[in-house]
Chain A
Amino acid sequence: METPSYYEHLTAYENLEITRKILQLPPDEIDKALDIVRLTQWKRQKVKDFSLGMKQRLGIAQALMGNRELLILDEPTNGLDPAGVKEIRELIMSLPEIMNATVLISSHILSEIELMADHVGIIHQGELLFQGTMAELKTKGRDEVVVKAHPLGQAAEFLRDKGYTVTIREGKLYLPGRNINMETLNRELVLSGYGVSHLSKNLGNLEDIFLQLTGEVA
C-alpha cells in the first residue's frame, strides 16, 4: 500500500484479472472488489491515468479479492492529499462491515490511526509496548487542565496558593492531574475576581501518548 503495485499499461479490471487468474477466483470477484473500492466507473481506464488515491484503492481491491478474513494494510494513506486521505480512511473504516474482515493497519501517521482504529498496538524497537482499545490507550495519557485566565501571573499564584501545581506555557495555565474538579476550579477563579476565558481538559493526543510510552519525550 505504501507504494501501490499495479501494471500501469493495463486497466483496473485487467490488473485485478491477473490476481483473479492466479488465485482461481470466479469472475464476479473483480466487480465485487471494484464496487467496494468505488472504482467500477473507471474499470476500463488505464491505471497510468489514475490519481494516487485511485491507485491506493486499486491496491486495496487487489487485497480484498478472495473474501479475506484479515487484511494487513501498510501505510495506506501515505503520500495522499487531504481529500485522498479522507477517501481511503472512509473506505478502510467501512471494510469490516462490508467484508466482515479484520483490518490491521500499520502506520506512522498517528492522527490517522486515532481516527480509524478501535484497537491499537504500539510497537517500539520490536517490543509490543501496548495492546488494547483506543479508550484504554487514552487513559495512558498525561491528563491536565488548561486554563486561560486574566491576569495570568496572579491567577497562577492564586492557584498555587490553593495547592495546585501550575505551569505557564504559551499564555495558558497547565494544571497536571487526573482528579481536578473543573467546576470547583472555575468557581474559585471567578469568585476571586479572575476573568476565565478558557477552561478545558487535555487528555493528550495519540502522538503524546506514543512518545510517552516509547520514552522519547522528557
Chain B
Amino acid sequence: MQEYYRLLKAEFLKQKRSFIWPAVVLTPLLGALLSFINLFLRYDYLMSLDYNQGLSSWHLLLIQHHFIWAFLLPLVVTIIASHVHYLEYKSNSWKQALALPVSRERVYLAKWSAVFILSTLMILENSICLVIAGKVLGFPEIVDVSLFAAYSAYQFLAITSLIGLQCLLSANLNNANVALAIGFAGVASSLFFAQSEQLARFIPYAHMIYTLPDYRINNAVALYYGLTFGLVFLGAGMLGFQRKEIY
C-alpha cells in the first residue's frame, strides 16, 4: 500500500506545470458558467415548458446543465487519461519508471487513480459551481442537496468505466493519440448509443448520459454498468500492462 501511495504522489508530481491542472479547474467552471448564462437568459421560458412542469429550479438547472456536462466531462477525462500515459511515451520514461523496484500493477493503478481523483475533483467542483450559479440566479427553493449528491454519485460511477477503458487503451497502445482519437469518437457518438438503453449499457462512453437524477432516466445504467465495466477494464488494464513490452 505504501508503494501505491508513493507512486500516486509521483504521478501528481509529474503533472506539475502541465495543462491538466488548468483543465481540471476551468472545465467545471466553464460548464457551470454556460448553464448560468443559459438560465439567466431563459429561466422563465424554460419553466413555462410542459416538459419542465412541476420541476424545481435546481432540477431544471441540472437538466439544462447535463446537455453540456455529459459531453464536456468525458472529453476532458479522455484527455487526462491519455495525457497521463502520453507523458511516459513522450519522454521515453516507461523504461525508467518500470526499472525501479516497483510492481507494474501498482504503476498502472497509480495512473488510473490519478485520473479518477482528477475526475472526482472536477465533478465536485462542478456541483459546487452549480450551487453558486443557482444562488446567484436567486432560485426560490432551498438547495436540493440530495439531488446534487445523487448526480455526483452517479457521475463517479459512470466515469469509472470511461476511465477504465481510456487507461486500458492509453497504456497498451504505443501511440497514446490513438487512444485519444478513439475516446473522442466514442464521446462524440455517445448520444447515439444512448438512444438505446440496451446498447448504452455496454458502451462506457454512453454511461455518463444516464447520470441525471430524473424519473425519466434509468440511472441503473450508470450505477451498475458504469461500476461493473469500470472494474472489468481496470482488471484487464492491469493484466495487459503486466505483459506490456517496454523498449
Contact = CB atoms under 8 A, between A and B. Distances in A.
A164 interface: no
Interface string B78-121: 00000000010001110111001110000000000000000000
B25 interface: no
B6 interface: yes
A19 B7 CA distance: 10
A102 interface: no
B96 A22 contact: no
B91 A5 contact: yes
B13 A18 contact: yes
Given A7-B14, A7-B87, A10-B14, A22 B102 contact: yes
B10 A21 contact: yes
Contacts of A10: 13-14, 16-17
B96 to A, nearest CB: 4
Nearest to A4: B92
A190 B16 CA distance: 75
A6 B9 contact: no
Contacts of A17: 13
B6 A62 contact: no
Contacts of A6: 91, 93, 96
A19 B169 CA distance: 26
Nearest to B101: A23
Interface size band for A = 10 to 19
B18 interface: yes
A86 interface: no
A21 B91 contact: no
B10 A5 contact: no
Contacts of B13: 10, 14, 17-18, 21
A9 interface: yes
B137 to A, nearest CB: 40
Contacts of A62: 96
28 contacts: A3-B92, A4-B92, A5-B91, A5-B92, A5-B93, A5-B95, A6-B93, A6-B96, A7-B87, A7-B93, A8-B91, A9-B16, A9-B17, A10-B13, A10-B14, A10-B16, A10-B17, A14-B13, A14-B16, A17-B13, A21-B6, A21-B9, A21-B10, A22-B7, A22-B102, A23-B100, A23-B101, A24-B6
Given A5-B93, A22-B102, 16 more contacts: A4-B92, A5-B92, A5-B95, A6-B91, A7-B87, A9-B16, A9-B18, A10-B13, A10-B14, A10-B17, A17-B13, A18-B10, A18-B13, A21-B6, A21-B13, A23-B100
A-B CB proximity, top 10 nearest = A5-B96, A5-B93, A18-B10, A3-B92, A5-B92, A18-B13, A21-B10, A7-B91, A22-B6, A22-B10
Interface of A: 3-10, 14, 17-19, 21-24, 62
